[in-house]
Amino acid sequence: MQLFTCPFCGPRPETEFHFGGDAGNARPGAEASATDWTDYLFFRHNRKGVAREIWMHLSCREAFLMERDTVTHAVTATHALGSEA
Amino acid sequence: MTRHYSALSVLKEGMRGQKGWAQAWRSPQPAKRYAVVIIGGGGQGLATAYYLAKTHGVKRIVVIERGWLGGGNTGRNTTAIRSNYYYPESTELYDLSLRLYETLGRDLNYNIMLSQRGMMQIVSSPGEMEMAARQVNAMQLNGVQAELLDRAEVQRRVPIYNYAPDARYPVYGAIFQARAGIARHDAVAWGYARAADALGVDIIQQCEVQGFVVEGGRCVGVQTSRGEIRADRVGMAVAGSSGVMAEKAGFRLPITSYTLQACVSEPVKPIFDTVLVSPMTGAYVSQSDKGEMVIGGGLDRVPSYGQRGNLPQLETVLSGVLEMFPIFRQLRLLRQWGGTVDVTPDSSPIFGESPLPGLYINGGWGTGGFKAIPAGGTLFAHILASGGHHPISAPFDLNRFRTGHLLDEAAGAGIAH
């Protein structure tokens, strides 16, 4: 069982967390083109190696930013979200 | 040298001390230029090469593999083959695959050990039973034979399942596809490799694609660890590495790579003669010809390229298996492993030309690529030979994510991933 560190609750088991997609995938405005909209909805960086992702801690319902390696699973940092969600 | 495999050749070679068997495939030096480059020497890539040469008569084809043949998901799956899907588009694709599998051993002159022992999907509530009837009706309307079994029939066919009154998920019945089954996964890769090689396809292992050669906005080849290789068309069939290849080519895909785990028990005497899945426990089991229980389940919940798997999901799957088969409590686990699967939002694959012209995709198979190898190869060969879609592959174009014509087969996958 891997522990992820929720910025609000501290280290908790990985099963309490839900993957929320790439960090920086901002929701487009109402005037967005179909391409921008489907980019936002479906298309992913899916990076091998270091990735910046949004995760939710299901216990406290807070979303946060996690930097981790998608090959080694090492987590380098977790942050509360600022303006970068 | 003996090339053809038959009982007679086994007898002849046995009498000559097994000295005369020809190599199954060559390991040539890559040429500078080909008609078609296929990235990925798994089942999909090798089948594509075979059908390109066999059906379309294309000369000068190369398959480039970073590791070894069938070392990715082709060699890591649980070998189930089935076509119990819901939508007509999916049925066209997966039943084509099952039909091709039925004659593949003869077509390739290679024993893929296909065993059509049927697949049973357990139903655990009255509400689910109604949905199961809908699924069976849909399959029959799509021309695929399916049966809805009641509890007594399930009990007759699989007496070792948990029918206790206090079972967590009681058995109300099951969806049964008799033509489904299992095959030897390595043999599928090796059979296609051998047959493709015999038709002149170059298979290059231990060769990594490091980038794409782009001229005038068009992909005209690949840069590899063994030099530049040019081609009229480039196809990629790299499963979990689709995102990595897409990044090198400068575009993104609607794909997230996850680990899918599987495991096998120690081998025991034959006790279980079908493939059985319970969507409620999230686990499925078959017994291999060697006697091992082959066990699979849902995806790990953490996106990963790790090819090994996390413990929580393994615990979920094994708990499910023991709930389904209390008798398996005595079994010891022999091996566990993981593969990197490329999951799309609608659980359907992606075929067609990529955003980089000249580069074509066969991917997004997620958890179900093995069963689709013969069809995937047939359709991708058509695409690479003609530059356009086959009628069966057209609904699976990448463009469906732009137009909204998704083929949401999440329910058809058997396990909620």
Are A46 and B402 inside 8 Å of each other by CB?
Answer: no
Q: Would residue A57 count as lying in a domain?
A: yes
ipTM score of the complex?
0.95
* Count of structural domains, chain B: 2
The pLDDT value recorded for residue B413 is: 56
Q: Does B306 touch chain A (CB under 8 A)?
A: yes
Q: Would residue A54 count as lying in a domain?
A: yes
Using CB atoms within 10 A of its CB, is residue B80 exposed (0-12), middle (13-18) or buried (19+)? buried
Q: What is the pLDDT of residues A16-74, one digit of tens each?
A: 999 999 999 999 999 999 999 999 999 999 999 999 999 999 999 999 999 999 999 99
Assess contact for B343 and B299: CB atoms under 8 A. yes
Same domain, B176 and B190: no
Helices B373-386, B185-198: inter-axial angle, 10-degree rounding: 30
Q: Would residue B16 count as lying in a domain?
A: no
Q: Please, what's the b/e burial string for B40-53 (b: 16 or more CB within 10 A of its CB; e: otherwise)?
A: bbbbbbbbbbbbbb
Q: Would residue B34 count as lying in a domain?
A: yes
The pLDDT value recorded for residue B416 is: 59
Return the CATH number at B332: 3.30.9.10
Same domain, B262 and B339: yes
Q: Would residue A85 count as lying in a domain?
A: no
Same domain, B175 and B305: yes
Same domain, B157 and B198: no
- Residue of chain B whose alpha carbon sits nearest to that of A2: B310
The pLDDT value recorded for residue B2 is: 85
Q: Would residue A55 count as lying in a domain?
A: yes
Return the CATH number at A40: 3.30.2270.10
Q: Which of B257, B312, B345 sits opposite A42 (nearest CB)?
A: B345
Q: Would residue B202 count as lying in a domain?
A: yes
Question: Mean pLDDT for each consecutive 10-residue tract of chain B (417 residues)?
Answer: 92 94 96 98 98 98 97 96 94 97 98 97 96 96 97 98 96 98 97 98 98 98 98 97 96 97 97 96 95 96 94 95 96 96 95 97 96 98 98 98 88 57
Are B241 and A48 inside 8 Å of each other by CB?
Answer: yes
Question: Which chain B residues are closer than 8 Å to A71 by Cβ?
Answer: 304-306
Same domain, B107 and B189: yes
Same domain, B337 and B262: yes
CA separation for the pair B417, B402 (Å, rounded): 23
Question: Any residues with CB less than 8 A from the CB of B393 and at least 6 apart, and which?
Answer: B93, B351, B352, B379, B380, B382, B383
Same domain, B233 and B265: no
**Predicted confidence (pLDDT) at residue A76 exceeds the cutoff of 80:** yes
Q: Would residue B15 count as lying in a domain?
A: no
Nearest CA to B284 out of B154, B136, B161 is that of: B161
Same domain, B240 and B357: yes
Enumerate chain A positions whose Cβ falls within 8 A of a Cβ in B: 1-2, 13-15, 17-19, 34-35, 38-39, 41-49, 51, 53, 70-73
Assess contact for B104 and B188: CB atoms under 8 A. yes
Assess contact for B114 and B183: CB atoms under 8 A. yes
Assess contact for A52 and A10: CB atoms under 8 A. no
Nearest CA to A17 out of A69, A78, A71, A72 is that of: A78
End-to-end CA distance of chain A: 27
Same domain, B288 and B170: yes
Same domain, B191 and B106: yes
Return the CATH number at B229: 3.50.50.60
Q: Which of A35, A39, A48 sits opposite B243 (nearest CB)?
A: A48
- Residue of chain A whose alpha carbon sits nearest to that of B305: A71
A20's tokens:
């929320």
The distance of Cα B243 from the centroid of its chain, to the nearest Å, equals 18
Q: Would residue A30 count as lying in a domain?
A: no
Please say which residue of B343, B360, B392 terminates a domain. B343
Q: Is the dihedral of CA B324, B327, B329, B331 positive or negative?
A: negative
Please say which residue of B293, B315, B343 terminates a domain. B343
What residues make up the domain containing A48?
A: 3-25+36-80
Indicate the helix (H) or strand (E) that contains B64. Answer: strand B61-64
Q: Would residue A70 count as lying in a domain?
A: yes
Whole-Å CA distances, B228 to B22, B32, B357 = 30, 7, 18
Are B301 and A42 inside 8 Å of each other by CB?
Answer: no
The pLDDT value recorded for residue B386 is: 97
Whole-Å CA distances, B239 to B159, B312, B367 = 37, 24, 10
Question: Which chain A residues are closer than 8 Å to B305 by Cβ?
Answer: 48-49, 70-71
CA separation for the pair B77, B61 (Å, rounded): 27
* Count of structural domains, chain A: 1
Same domain, B170 and B137: yes
The pLDDT value recorded for residue A82 is: 79
What residues make up the domain containing B37?
A: 26-111+184-254+346-413
Same domain, B169 and B267: yes
Amino acid (1-letter code) at residue A74: A
**Predicted confidence (pLDDT) at residue A83 exceeds the cutoff of 70:** no
Assess contact for B2 and B20: CB atoms under 8 A. yes
